[in-house]
Amino acid sequence: MPYDITGTVVRVMETQTFPSGFSKREFVIETDEKYPQKVKLECIKERCSLLDGIRESDAVLVRFVVRGSEHEGRYYVNLQALEITRQNPF
């Protein structure tokens, strides 16, 4: 089930490519709430290109899914971006 989050981009990292051929690109947005949160999301595989043209300080709406996994008794949660839309400033 997809979720939406809005905020301002504070960091866009370089694409990471692993020996298996898997690639991901992470980015951080700061939410526009009374108590702003910095949230790290990721684009995987062909969706890495969603971040092309997105710059720090851009206001964005991100549609994402929550993915969880377990490895050797440790649990991980990733927020994987499906769409990134630049928002007009008000």
Instruction: State the Cα–Cα distance between residues 14 and 33, nearest whole angstrom.
Output: 27
pLDDT score for 58: 95
Enumerate domains of the chain plus CATH numbers: 3-86 (2.40.50.140)
Instruction: Indicate if the pLDDT at residue 71 is higher than 70.
Output: yes
Average pLDDT on 55-67 reads: 96
Tokens of 21: 């051929």
Instruction: Indicate if the pLDDT at residue 90 is higher than 70.
Output: no
Instruction: Indicate if the pLDDT at residue 81 is higher than 80.
Output: yes
**Residues 60, 41 contacting (CB under 8 angstroms):** no
Its pTM stands at: 0.89
**How far is CA 7 from its chain centroid?**
11
